[in-house]
Amino acid sequence: MPTLECRKLLQTFGMEWPEASQEEISMRRTLIAGNWKMNGSKAEARSLVEDLMRRQREVGSERPDCDLLICPPFVFLELVGRLIEGSEIALGAQDCHPAEAGAHTGDISAGMLADIGCSYVIVGHSERRQDHGEGDALVQAKAAAALAAGLTPIVCVGETREERDAGHTLDVIERQVRDSLPANCGSRVVVAYEPVWAIGSGLSATPADVAEVHAAIRGVLRDLSGKEAADATRILYGGSVKPGNAAELLALEEVDGALVGGASLKAEDFWAIASASPRRTQA
Ligand code: 13P
């Protein structure tokens, strides 16, 4: 039986779904990821990264208690990779092709991304699902290719406005998580919940809605990979995350970080979001 049904069934009997303990939550280090999308020039990429690095140097050991990740467009990966060398900022790409190599004009393989210094790759972003007609099976194949190349895939899921208004949010999310994650991925993936209607709209989902969907995703992960792997998997929220709402969203128990679009293009805002991370791990 799908996990969400199990959860509802338990609730009808007045029983609670087992939540992760504080110890399990603290296994998940907060990840703040910047998805630059198709923005910026070489000069802008350089000054944004240099600004972030300067902020990191200035705060010294008082730096935010989170992992930082930058996902620039493909053409700036090498430049950004060079600039962040030796820092604790990680490099990620925004997409990859599922094949290792071959006749795929314009595409980039996960192996190439690993070769150039990436450790993460975003797959299944709703903009790719919409602009390029990508479905769950392709997203799953991309995520599997990323794992095979030693990258951590950030697998994006999210409902449209119409799906939310029709009351289908949890069903859509459950299907996307089940069909987009590679089999046996354990905790080697990151899941990003990005409601499509919240992306770039200035309208973030409410903390209550985010908490509900993240708990549902954790439930599906438990069903797919077992409790231990599920409790170690990071689930990020994305969709109009800004300095003004970051603390409230990141404080939610099931929110293990943020996938930030527009606000990641301003060093001041991205840094403010990272600085809003709650302390979860021992230094
Ligand atoms: P915004 O933060 O601009 O809403 O974008 C979110 C997003 O799509 C990150 O992948």
In DSSP notation, 214-275 reads: HHHHHHHHHHHH-HHHHHHSEEEEESS--HHHHHHHHTSTT--EEEESGGGGSHHHHHHHHH
Q: Which atom of ligand 1 is nearest to the CA of 240?
A: 4
CA of 9 to the centre of ligand 1 (A): 34
The mean pLDDT value of the chain amounts to: 91
Active site residue 125: yes
Ligand 1 atom with least separation from CA of 122: 10
User: Which one of the listed residues 125, 134, 159, 174 is annotated catalytic?
Assistant: 125
The answer to whether position 221 is within a domain reads yes
- Read off the pLDDT of residues 42-93 as tens digits, 9 standing for 90 and up: 999 999 999 999 999 998 777 888 999 999 999 999 999 999 999 999 999 9
Quote the pLDDT of residue 60: 79
The DSSP 8-state label assigned to residue 18 in this structure reads: P
Contact 248, 207 (CB under 8 A): yes
- Of the pLDDT bands very low, low, confident and very high (cuts 50, 70, 90), residue 279 is confident
Q: Residue 255 sits in which domain range?
A: 27-56+65-96+107-275
Helix axes 207-225, 243-250, angle to 10 degrees: 50
- Ligand 1 centroid, distance to 113 Cα (angstroms): 22
> Which CATH number is 137's domain given?
3.20.20.70
Rounded distance, CA 56 to CA 250, Å?
Answer: 20
Is residue 194 part of the annotated active site? The answer reads: yes
Residue 122, in any domain of the structure: yes
Q: Which amino acid is at 104?
A: H
C-alpha 129/C-alpha 97 separation (Å) is: 14
Does residue 260 have its Cβ closer than 6 Å to ligand 1?
A: yes
86 Cα–ligand 1 center, Å:
27
Report the separation in Å between the CA atom of 271 and the middle of ligand 1, taken as the mean of its atom positions: 16
139 in a domain, yes or no?
yes
Res. 25: pLDDT tops 70: no
Confidence tier at 21 by pLDDT (50, 70, 90)? low
Banded pLDDT at 15 (limits 50, 70, 90) = very low
Residue 115 forms part of a structural domain:
yes
Instruction: Note the pLDDT tens digit of each residue in 218-241.
Output: 999 999 999 999 999 999 999 999
Burial of 63 (0-12, 13-18, 19+ CB in 10 A): middle
pLDDT greater than 60 at residue 13:
no
Does residue 280 form part of some domain? no
pLDDT at 5 over 70: no
Instruction: Report yes or no on 22 lying in a domain.
Output: no
**Test site for ligand 1: of 260, 264, 266, most ligand atoms within 8 A of the Cβ:** 260
Q: How sure is the predictor about 36, in pLDDT bands with cuts at 50, 70 and 90?
A: very high
The residue whose CB lies within 8 Å of the most ligand 1 atoms, and thus the one to mutate among 240, 265, 273, is: 240
With beta carbons less than 8 A apart as the criterion, state whether 4 and 218 touch.
no
pLDDT in tens, 238-278: 999 999 999 999 999 999 999 999 999 999 999 999 999 98
Task: Determine which one of 134, 194, 214, 254 is catalytic.
Answer: 194
In 3D space, the residue among 140, 133, 226 whose CA is nearest the CA of residue 179 turns out to be: 140
Asked if residue 95 has its Cβ within 6 Å of ligand 1, the reply is no
Q: Which atom of ligand 1 is nearest to the CA of 156?
A: 10
- The finding on whether 240 has its CB within 6 A of some atom of ligand 1 is yes
Residue 211 clears pLDDT 80, i.e. is over it: yes
Provide the whole-model pTM: 0.90
Task: Give me the number of domains the chain comprises.
Answer: 1
The answer as to whether 258 is a domain residue is: yes
CA nearest 90: which of 63, 67, 59, 56?
Answer: 67
Which residues lie closer than 8 Å to 70 by C-beta, 6 or more apart? 33, 34, 36, 49, 52, 80, 84, 89, 90, 91, 92, 264
pLDDT at 187 over 90: yes
Is residue 17 in some structural domain?
Answer: no
